[in-house]
Amino acid sequence: MRIAIVNDLALAREVLRRLVASTPGNAVAWQAEDGDEAVRRAAADRPDVILMDLVMPRLNGVEATRQIMRSSPCPILVVTSTVTGNYELVIRAMGAGALDAVETPTLGADGAVVNGEKLVARLAKLRAALGDVTRSWLAAPAPCPVPPPSRSAPPLVLLGASTGGPDALGVVLSAFRPGFPAPVVVAQHIGAEFTPGLVQQLALRSALPVRIARDGERPTPGTVLVAASDDHLELACDGTLRYTPVPVNYPYRPSVDVLFSSASVSWPRPGVAVLLTGMGTDGAAGLGQLNAAGWYTIAQNEGTCVVYGMPRAAAELGAASEVVPLPQIGLAVAAHVHAMQKR
């Protein structure tokens, strides 16, 4: 992969340069000393990945991420001196389209890079994701010994998102009013350590309570549950949620496909599923399984996506009942849920 490095500190740039150069298959595309330069360089020479610092002069990493994802979208990993100390900025950067965040490696006394393992692992994960092999990793869901479709069970709403998802999820959830008659379950590609911040961010924009999904609980109407694990969240045959490491080597975690696929056989009546902005193809095959099972399926349209990857894959598969601009998705979901309640 061609990797760009954005950092105002010369030492940090050198550490990252050494780390990139030492990992097989990777090379430095270019370096920038601030966000403003990064926006210009990305427009002239779009790399495979950008390693983006947060605190920089002229234009910080959050706004640089926002501008790059608007004009020259590509995968962005936040690399900052302290994730904990810059937590609010990290969450804002993810809302603008960054994929993940790790702390900046340092140099040891012998000149070797120290604490670079997490960044190397994130780059390997991203390489697998960019390989676009996800469709072949989703196995058909095993049939569940569930009772026939039941009108007593509420319709379920499933939301899946990746790059740019935090902001998009906030827009969708803001359309749901108190007393919303369906449970809502969210799978957003995000590290488990950042999920509490995502939940807080979504709660500020939602009239419904938003919290982390607990292993073994049953989704209930009027509550938004967010997957919070480096494993996957799925619906078991008894209608409860559980975390699972399978598929182990799947590059997207938590996987939208795993959640969607499990719901296609585990929930006793059709609901509504939405696939929002994101890189890659995760969620497209699962959306197709839900569509085939009678669910109403929505993909976000290209014009309102930060990255038109996952929804594009769904549209190309014929998995979406409808392709909808982001500002209209929440209202469309609510209308279909209320219509299903009357059936």
The residue with tokens 């760009």 is 4
| CA 174 to chain CA centroid, nearest Å | 18
**Catalytic one of 162, 255, 262, 264:** 162
Q: Of the listed 100, 231, 257, 282, which one is catalytic?
A: 282
> Does 189 participate in catalysis according to the annotation?
yes
**162 catalytic, yes or no?**
yes
Catalytic residue check, 282: yes
Structure tokens at 195: 């999920």
Question: Maximum distance among all alpha carbons in the chain?
Answer: 70
**Within 10 Å of residue 46's Cβ, how many Cβ atoms?**
16
Of 189, 255, 262, 321, which residue is the catalytic one?
A: 189
Taking Cα atoms as reference points, which of 283, 295, 307 lies closest to residue 160?
283
Cα(60)–Cα(52) distance, rounded to whole angstroms? 9
CA distance 293 to 98: 33
Helices 284-292 and 256-266: crossing angle in degrees, nearest 10, is 10
Nearest C-alpha neighbor of 87 from the set 103, 108, 75 = 103
Task: Measure the CA–CA gap between 260 and 319, rounded to whole angstroms.
Answer: 12
- DSSP, collapsed to helix, strand or coil, labels residue 167 as helix
Point out the residues that are catalytic. 162, 189, 282
